[in-house]
A and B are shown apart, each in its own frame.
Chain A
Amino acid sequence: MRTSVQEMIAQSKGKKNKKFIEKIIPWILLLIASVSVLTTIGIVLTLIIETITFFRRVSVFDFVFGTTWLPFSNKEELYGILPLIVGTLKVTLIAVIVAVPIGISAAIYLSEYASETVRRIVKPVLEVLAGIPTIVYGFFALTFVTPLLQTFFPEIKIFNAISPGIVVGIMIIPMIASLSEDAMSAVPRSIRDGALAMGSTKFEVAWKIIVPAALSGIIASVVLAVSRAIGETMIVSLAGGSTPKFDGDFAGSIQTMTAYIVQVSKGDAGYGTTIYYSIYAVGFTLFLFTMLMNILAQYVSKRFREEY
Chain B
Amino acid sequence: MTTIKTALTKKEPVQKTDKKSVYLTKQLNLWYGDNHALKNIDLDIKENEVTAIIGPSGCGKSTYIKTLNRMVELVPSVKTSGQILYRDRNIFDKDYGVEELRTRVGMVFQKPNPFPKSIYDNIAYGPRIHGIKNKKILNEIVEKSLRGAAIWEEVKDRLDENAYSLSGGQQQRICIARALAIEPDVILMDEPTSALDPISTLKIEELVQELKKDYSIIIVTHNMQQAARISDKTAFFLNGEVIEYDDTDTIFSNPSDKRTEDYISGRFG
A binds B: yes
> From B104, which residue of chain A is reached at the shortest CB distance?
A6
> By the criterion of a CB under 8 Å from any partner CB, how many residues of chain B are at the interface?
13
CB distance B131 to A5 under 8 Å? no
> From B180, which residue of chain A is reached at the shortest CB distance?
A5
- Asked whether any CB of chain A lies closer than 8 Å to the CB of B149, the reply is no
CB distance B103 to A8 under 8 Å? no
What residues of chain B lie closer than 8 Å to A12, measured between beta carbons? 130-132
Bitwise, B165-209 to A at CB < 8 A (1) or not (0) is 000000000000000011111000000000000000000000000
What residues of chain B lie closer than 8 Å to A5, measured between beta carbons? 127, 132, 141, 181-183
CB distance A9 to B141 under 8 Å? no
CA A13 – CA B133 in complex, angstroms? 11
- Asked whether any CB of chain A lies closer than 8 Å to the CB of B75, the reply is no
A20: min CB distance to chain B, Å:
13
Bitwise, A4-17 to B at CB < 8 A (1) or not (0) is 11101100111100
CB distance B104 to A8 under 8 Å? no
A14: min CB distance to chain B, Å:
6
What residues of chain B lie closer than 8 Å to A9, measured between beta carbons? 103, 127, 130-132, 182
What residues of chain A lie closer than 8 Å to B137, measured between beta carbons? 8
* Chain A 160-216 residues near chain B, CB threshold 8 A: none
CB distance A6 to B131 under 8 Å? no
Chain B facing A: main interface SS: loop
* Chain B 119-151 residues near chain A, CB threshold 8 A: 127, 130-132, 137, 141
What residues of chain B lie closer than 8 Å to A15, measured between beta carbons? 131
B96: min CB distance to chain A, Å:
13
What residues of chain A lie closer than 8 Å to B127, measured between beta carbons? 5, 8-9
CA A14 – CA B133 in complex, angstroms? 12
What residues of chain B lie closer than 8 Å to A4, measured between beta carbons? 183
Bitwise, A96-119 to B at CB < 8 A (1) or not (0) is 000000000000000000000000
Bitwise, B94-124 to A at CB < 8 A (1) or not (0) is 0000000001100000000000000000000
A6: min CB distance to chain B, Å:
5
CA A4 – CA B183 in complex, angstroms? 8
CB distance B182 to A14 under 8 Å? no
> From A7, which residue of chain B is reached at the shortest CB distance?
B183
CA A218 – CA B141 in complex, angstroms? 58
CA A13 – CA B185 in complex, angstroms? 22
CA A122 – CA B68 in complex, angstroms? 52
CA A12 – CA B184 in complex, angstroms? 16
> From B185, which residue of chain A is reached at the shortest CB distance?
A6
What residues of chain A lie closer than 8 Å to B141, measured between beta carbons? 5
* Chain B 24-81 residues near chain A, CB threshold 8 A: none
> From A5, which residue of chain B is reached at the shortest CB distance?
B183
CA A15 – CA B130 in complex, angstroms? 9
B30: min CB distance to chain A, Å:
25
CB distance A13 to B131 under 8 Å? yes
What residues of chain B lie closer than 8 Å to A13, measured between beta carbons? 131
A18: min CB distance to chain B, Å:
8
CB distance B131 to A14 under 8 Å? yes
What residues of chain A lie closer than 8 Å to B181, measured between beta carbons? 5
Query: Which of B131, B132, B183 is most buried by chain A, counting CB atoms within 10 A of its CB?
Result: B131
CA A5 – CA B137 in complex, angstroms? 9
What residues of chain A lie closer than 8 Å to B104, measured between beta carbons? 6
> From A4, which residue of chain B is reached at the shortest CB distance?
B183
B268: min CB distance to chain A, Å:
32
CA A8 – CA B141 in complex, angstroms? 12
A286: min CB distance to chain B, Å:
40
A26: min CB distance to chain B, Å:
16
CA A8 – CA B183 in complex, angstroms? 11
CB distance B183 to A6 under 8 Å? yes
What residues of chain A lie closer than 8 Å to B103, measured between beta carbons? 6, 9
CB distance B132 to A6 under 8 Å? no
CA A4 – CA B184 in complex, angstroms? 10
What residues of chain B lie closer than 8 Å to A8, measured between beta carbons? 127, 131-132, 137
What residues of chain A lie closer than 8 Å to B185, measured between beta carbons? 6
* B-binding residues in A (CB < 8 A): 4-6, 8-9, 12-15
* A-binding residues in B (CB < 8 A): 103-104, 127, 130-132, 137, 141, 181-185
Q: A5-B141, A9-B103 are in contact. List 5 more A-B contacts (CB 8 A).
A: A6-B183, A8-B132, A12-B130, A13-B131, A15-B131
10 A-B pairs closest in CB distance: A12-B131, A5-B183, A9-B130, A6-B183, A8-B132, A5-B182, A4-B183, A14-B131, A12-B130, A9-B103
- List 24 contacting pairs A-B, 8 Å CB cutoff, sorted by A: A4-B183, A5-B127, A5-B132, A5-B141, A5-B181, A5-B182, A5-B183, A6-B103, A6-B104, A6-B182, A6-B183, A6-B184, A6-B185, A8-B132, A8-B137, A9-B103, A9-B130, A9-B131, A9-B132, A9-B182, A12-B130, A13-B131, A14-B131, A15-B131
